[in-house]
Amino acid sequence: MNPSATTSANSPVNPSAATSTSLSARELLAAGLVAQPDAVAEVREEVRDPRSGPGSRALRVTTLGGVSVEVLPDRGLDLGSLWFNSIPVSWRSALGPRGGAVDPADEGWIGRFGGGLLVTSGVDHIGPPEQGHGLHGTHHLTPASDVAVRRLDDGSVEVSGAIDSSVVFGRHVLVKRKITVGVDRPRVEVRDTIRNTGPVPAAVPILYHSNLGAPLVLPGTRVEVPGSTRTPRTPEAERLGWQAFPEPTDEVIEGVWEHTGFAPGAVQAVVTAPEDAVRLTMSWDGAELPRCMQWVHPTRGGWVLGVEPASAPLFGPDRSGEHLGAPVLEPGQERASGVVYELS
């Protein structure tokens, strides 16, 4: 230690607080305790993401707030693995490495379903193959363009890009996505602007297929979803229930519920591990996404909980007509939607 060193009266942080873990990223930077933003919010690009196929990219964002999340530019700027304080939160399927080239008119989507925190369904189609569309549409299998990374004033990381949903003779739709990873708070926000850039009306259903696994999801994990109406798709769903995750089984079984009737404003769904070991809170605007699907799959080796806010129905009488109940944009129109993930 240099005995002649002095502390300026104008120092932004007093010496006794210099080792406090309560300092924000902005305070650490202002005090000169870290030399650059990458020290509190690290961004690393990995080539040949094994879940997206040879040559594919993954951006890994790791923050002071305890979050480590993969952003997948070659998978529609969706989200891969999510860890919080060294605990894995997102689900991975049993599939090994898969490429992204799939004929959207068949059911090849499921053959590339490696999991991850967010697998966006849409914006041309959601749900089972129908009207010439494949399962869950093409967004997740479409590489993003104009991908950019920037630092916000508070040190948070923003990743943005554009995902095309167009055909040569027909609809022209563009999704502009921004993903913001908080540096101090364990928070990841996905925000989309969907615009009809073509000359004809276009249906734009979207479903934020959010996939959660162990150790967040264990027997007895509690699920809270607001709403006045709960609709099971099948008798199996009714048997499995929705408020607590069931015991594991060797039977290949799944259940899907639809939650509707949200109060105006923000909607919050909460998933809490037994003994409150870890909690994930998902929030969205109920006017933008008036439905939430819940997928329960307790089969050993499968074992996944899906919480899936959506703008259109997956089943039931509302899934009818030319556009299957999806919102429609006229030429030049746009609509916004998104979801926020917070951990505690």
pTM score of the predicted model: 0.90
pLDDT given for residue 184 in this prediction: 96
Residue 146's contacts (CB-CB under 8 Å, 6 or more residues apart) are: 160, 161, 162
Residue 5 lies in a domain: no
> What are phi and psi for residue 122, nearest 5 degrees?
120, -155
- From first to last of its 344 residues, what are the pLDDT tens digits of the chain? 444 444 333 434 443 333 445 899 999 999 999 999 999 999 999 886 555 555 688 999 999 999 999 999 999 999 999 999 999 999 998 876 655 554 444 446 676 778 899 999 999 999 877 776 767 788 988 999 999 999 999 999 999 999 999 988 889 999 999 999 999 999 999 999 999 999 999 999 999 999 999 999 999 999 999 999 999 999 999 999 999 999 999 999 999 999 999 998 999 999 999 999 999 999 999 999 999 999 999 999 999 999 999 999 999 999 888 899 999 999 999 999 999 999 99
pLDDT given for residue 134 in this prediction: 65
Residue 69 lies in a domain: yes
Q: Which domain does 253 fall in, by range?
A: 38-343
Residue 127 lies in a domain: yes
Q: What is the 3-state secondary structure (H, E, C) of the chain?
A: CCCCCCCCCCCCCCHHHCCCCCCCHHHHHHCCCCCCHHHCEEEEEEECCCCCCCCCEEEEEEECCCEEEEEEHHHCCEEEEEEECCEECECECCCCCCCCCCCCCCCHHHHHCCECCEEEEECCCCCCCECCECCCCCHHHCCCEEEEEEECCCCCEEEEEEEEEECCCCCEEEEEEEEEECCCCCEEEEEEEEEECCCCCEECCEEEEEEECCCCCCCCCEEECCCCEEEECCHHHHHHCCCECCCCECCCCCEEEEEECCCCCEEEEEEECHHHCCEEEEEEECCCCCEEEEEEECECCCCEEEEEEECCCCCCCCCCCCCCCCCEECCCCEEEEEEEEEEC
Considering only CA atoms, which of 310, 303, 297, 314 is closest in space to residue 227? 310
Residue 343's contacts (CB-CB under 8 Å, 6 or more residues apart) are: 66, 67, 84, 89, 186, 187, 278, 279, 280, 281
Four-residue CA torsion sign, 236, 237, 241, 244 = positive
Considering only CA atoms, which of 127, 144, 145 is closest in space to residue 136? 127
Tokens representing 196 are: 């009809």
Residue 47 lies in a domain: yes
187 bridge partner residues = 342
Residue 17 lies in a domain: no
pLDDT digits (tens, 9 = 90+) for 224-263: 999 999 999 999 999 999 999 999 999 999 999 999 999 9
pLDDT given for residue 128 in this prediction: 75
First to last CA, the chain: 39
Tokens representing 139 are: 């967004």
Longest dimension (CA), the chain: 80
pLDDT given for residue 322 in this prediction: 87
Looking at residue 117, which CATH number applies to its domain? 2.70.98.10
Residue 194 lies in a domain: yes
Residue 157 lies in a domain: yes
Residue found under tokens 């990223």? 25
Q: Are 340 and 204 in contact (CB under 8 A)?
A: no
Structurally, the chain folds into a number of domains equal to 1
Residue 24 lies in a domain: no
Q: Are 307 and 283 in contact (CB under 8 A)?
A: no
d(Cα 118, Cα 340) in Å, to the nearest integer?
A: 11
> How many residues are given for the chain?
344
281 bridge partner residues = 270, 342
